[in-house]
Structure 1
Amino acid sequence: MTEFDKMRRGERFNSIDLDLRLRREAARLACAKYNAHPSKGNLRHITRLFASSTNTVIEPGFQCDYGTQIYLGERVYINFQCVFLDSAAITIGNDVLIGPGVHLYTVDHPREASQRASGVCVARPIVIGSGVWIGGGAKVLPGVSVGDNAIIGANAVVRRDVAENERYVGG
């Protein structure tokens, strides 16, 4: 089984594996093409990486690890300078507004320094429901689910699941 297969299955994987590094490089190049010359035509460099996307607006400065594990619903707006680390699935519902500088992190690292040095990682999916608004600068950590119509305050660090219709400002 490859490290990519392990990563997609939610098992521990080696992030410094050559195949994974090459996949991240391909995603960086796709993002760089769009970010250098943002246009609807160049947006395809990013969206063709995604598992799914429809009627998506992505402002320049977007970065992702692979893109292949990003699932976007209808009418998703991703503002400037967003980062999606998609070692696990990032699933975003319909009519979602994502503010500037929002980061979604699915990947996590061991707490033991020697394991971190070896490149071992684990990833847990992030699920964002429909009608969600995530304020600028917010960070969503691995394994978090955000319910429909929730609001995440600007600069919040989301460490736990957020219920449907909840307003989360951090903590």
Structure 2
Amino acid sequence: MREFITFDAAEPALVARRRTARALCSSISNNPDGREPLYKLLFGSVGEGFEQWGNLFCEFGSNINIGDGVFINANGVFLDAFEINIGNRVFIGPHVGIYTSNHAKDLEQRRRYIESGAPVVIEDDVWIGGGATILPGVTVGKGSIIGAGAVVAKSVPPHSKVLGAGSQVYPI
């Protein structure tokens, strides 16, 4: 697990960046035939052969780096206050959430929009099933499978599978 960094989510520069990302995500979701130039405006980097279906939501977009041959199905939610690095040949099912930040546990900090977070890394050849959630600071190792509906709260070794909400890891 990576070290979590605290930040002020209400900082005006971050609010403006979120607004820009929302507009780009809306354009992408409503323009299936003209998405490619928008991907280059939204994401930090996009590899060859990237394909994305349906709606998409990113908090900033610019902190997301996508490898070659990546497929993202409908209704993905990517909260990228920190980097999300997606390797090559990764398949992401519908309704998947990848989150790099958490709200503060302390009530007073939460009221002031103080959050913390850490980057997420999805290595090459990973398959993430529909409805799965990847939490801040997690690395999903190369060749792993994240089962539908799984909640991944800790890093996953290469060539493993994670099933269910308990993040139980099994060898493939």
Of 73, 91, 102 in structure 2, the residue corresponding to residue 97 of structure 1 is 91
Pairwise mapping of residues 110-121 of structure 1 onto structure 2 (< 5 A)? 110-121=104-115
In structure 2, the partner of 1:50 is: 43
Please report how far the alpha carbon of residue 44 of structure 1 lies from its aligned counterpart in structure 2 after TM superposition.
2.2
Q: Aligned partners of 2:76 and 2:56: how far apart in 1?
A: 5
In structure 2, the partner of 1:69 is: 63
Q: Aligned partners of 1:81 and 1:34: how far apart in 2?
A: 12
In structure 2, the partner of 1:78 is: 72
Pairwise mapping of residues 12-161 of structure 1 onto structure 2 (< 5 A)? 12-39=6-33, 41-54=34-47, 55-161=49-155
Please report how far the alpha carbon of residue 107 of structure 1 lies from its aligned counterpart in structure 2 after TM superposition.
0.7
Q: Aligned partners of 2:161 and 2:14: how far apart in 1?
A: 36
Unmatched 5+ stretches in structure 1: 1-9
Alpha-carbon distance change, 67 to 85 in structure 1, aligned in 2, over 3 angstroms: same
> What do residues 54-92 of structure 1 show as CA deviations (whole Å, max 9, x unaligned)?
121111210001111101110100000000000000001
Normalised by the length of structure 1, the TM-score is: 0.90
Percent identical among aligned pairs is 39
Please report how far the alpha carbon of residue 12 of structure 1 lies from its aligned counterpart in structure 2 after TM superposition.
1.9
Letter in 2 for 1:62: L
Q: Which structure has more strand as a fraction of its residues?
A: 2
Please report how far the alpha carbon of residue 13 of structure 1 lies from its aligned counterpart in structure 2 after TM superposition.
1.5
Given that residues 39 and 46 in structure 2 are in contact (C-alpha distance below 8 angstroms), is that contact kept between their aligned partners in structure 1?
no
Runs of 4+ in 1 over 6 A off after TM superposition: none
Unmatched 5+ stretches in structure 2: 167-172
Q: Aligned partners of 1:51 and 1:34: how far apart in 2?
A: 16
Letter in 1 for 2:126: V
Q: Aligned partners of 1:76 and 1:42: how far apart in 2?
A: 15
> What do residues 18-46 of structure 1 show as CA deviations (whole Å, max 9, x unaligned)?
1111100100000101111212x234223
Q: Aligned partners of 1:46 and 1:117: how far apart in 2?
A: 34
Please report how far the alpha carbon of residue 105 of structure 1 lies from its aligned counterpart in structure 2 after TM superposition.
0.3
Letter in 2 for 1:117: R
Report the aligned-residue RMSD. Answer: 1.1
Letter in 1 for 2:35: N
